[in-house]
Structure formats: C-alpha cells, structure tokens
Amino acid sequence: MKIIVCMKQVPAGTKVDIDPETGSMKRLSGETRTNPYDLFALEAALQLREKLGGSVTVLTMGPPQAEEMMKDAYTMGADDAIILSDRKFAGADVLATSYALSQGIQAAGGADLIICGKQTTDGDTAQVGPAIAEHLGIPHAAWVAEIVDADQDSIQVRQDLVSVSQTSKIPYPCLITVDKDMCVPRLPSYILQKESQDRPVKIMTFDDMLDHNLSRYGLVGSPTAVERMFAPPEIEKQVYFEGDAQKKTEDLFNVLVKKKVI
C-alpha cells in the first residue's frame, strides 16, 4: 500500500503578504508552518500504514526551505519526502499547482492512495486535492470526516457535507481530502528525529516531470488573474428579532421602512 500525502508550507500567522502589483501571494516571506489540515492528512496516512502496511511519502511543491516541514514529517513517521522545486513552478494558481503535483506523483511512481488536507490556511480554495485527482483521472472524495474502513483494495469514507452525510467505498487508486478533527495528529518522536536526521529529502525539478509542456506549469500555466485586492466593507451588525411571528414581522417591517427598502 503506497500512500502519498500532499503537504503545504503556509505563513505561521494569519497575515498573508500580497504583492500589490501582481496580486500574487508572497506566502513564504515570513515565518512558516505546516498547513494545519495537512497534519490530519499525515496522521490518517500513518494510521492506515499501521493497519495495512506499506509506505507513506510526503510531497510538497514549494521553495527548498520546505525541507524543514518535510523533516518534521519524518519525525512523525513519514518514510520518504519529496519537494517539487523549480522556478518554472513559481506563481502557480490552483490549476498549475495541482497539475505539477499530479506530475510529481506520477514521477514518484504513483500511489494507491493520495491524501490531502481539506484546505489551506493561506490560499484556502480547497480545490487542489480534487484537481489533482482530475488530472490523474482517479476517483476522489473531499471533506472526509472519517475513514470508516480500509483494506488492500478500497477505502470507505464518510463525508460531512453542508446538509448531508455520505459514506462511500472507493477503490484504489483514489484521492481523499480530510477535514480537521478526523483524528489526532501525533507529536513528533525524539527517536524518529534521531533515526531520520540524515535521511535526505528528494528534490524534483521540472526536468523530472513526465510532461515537459511549459505552458502547464507556474505563472504561464495559470489562467487565474487577480484584478484587484481589497478589504471587504464591514458588514452591518446583525439584528435578531424576538417574540412571536406577528411581532417579528412587525419589527422587520419597521426596519425595512426605516431603511427605505419598502
């Protein structure tokens, strides 16, 4: 059973620097940490390896300083780590990021199961996981709240969607994105830190990709254009109406009249 976990380095705080000229995120200009959702993805993968055997590889696309995050993944129990790092990957939107990651997965020999976090705390689109699956042409389930069961052929997952809870059995190869609180990420192990301190982190570049069509990667392969960045206007304080239906209706009516809506 080969599992690949996609992990992203994000800014440590909530502040994301934006280049006002290009609208691009200058994500890694300050202190960084592992995207919190990806720790749940890694823990889920480690638990599956304990149950089914096999290996867990962590994969990221980012600058070489992502090595620190990958070393942290070793101290939790990951077997291998790969960074996709090349200037040709820079400036990628969701489409180009997910394409490069799908290429990296193929260049690494593929996987039975790919696990991503549900979303990141910087880009926050929650689209990269499903987009990787689409590029690879494999089934996926997003927003997984629980891994109900897994064997050597398939995984059974529960997704808690906005108004419905759904349980599906998906054959490998497949991809899932996991929600927070679906497990408790383990703490780094001192023993694993000692054991893995000399274990290298593999760097893959554009040259290692199977598809060398430059128009699919980085800024060139990114159709998204940020036209304008602005702070949204403050939303007016919410008003709650109390009382029975008659009173609530009258109060609402009075507010609408006062605001000249009616």
Q: Which residues bind ligand FAD (CB under 6 A)?
A: 6-8, 24-25, 27, 35, 37-38, 41, 60-62, 90-94, 97, 101, 116-117, 119-120, 122-129, 222, 224-226
User: CB of residue 218 vs ligand FAD: minimum separation in angstroms?
Assistant: 8
Whichever of 186 and 251 has its CB closer to ligand FAD, that residue is 186
Nearest distance from C-beta of residue 251 to ligand FAD, angstroms:
41
Provide the minimum distance between the beta carbon of 36 and ligand FAD in the complex, in angstroms, as a whole number. 9
CB of 221 to ligand FAD, least distance (A): 11
Decide whether 5 or 150 has the Cβ nearer to ligand FAD: 5
Q: Of 36 and 54, which CB lies nearer to ligand FAD in the complex structure? A: 36
| Separation CA 174–CA 75 (nearest Å) | 26
Q: DSSP for the chain?
A: -EEEEE--EEESSS---B-TTT--B-GGGS-EEE-HHHHHHHHHHHHHHHHH--EEEEEEES-GGGHHHHHHHHHHT-SEEEEE--GGGTT--HHHHHHHHHHHHHHTT--SEEEEES--SSS--S-HHHHHHHHHT--EEEEEEEEEEE-SSEEEEEEE-SS-EEEEEEESSEEEEE-TTSS-PPPP-HHHHHHHTT---EEE-GGGSS---GGGSTTTT---------PPPPPPPP----SSHHHHHHHHHHHHHHTT--
CB of 31 to ligand FAD, least distance (A): 15
Minimum separation from the CB atom of position 119 to ligand FAD (A): 4
Identify which of residues 53 and 232 has a Cβ nearer to ligand FAD in the complex: 232
Shorter beta-carbon distance to ligand FAD: residue 174 or 245: 174
- When the beta carbons of 126 and 192 are compared against ligand FAD, the nearer one is 126
For residue 167, the minimal CB distance to ligand FAD (Å) is 22
CB nearer ligand FAD, residue 224 or residue 254: 224
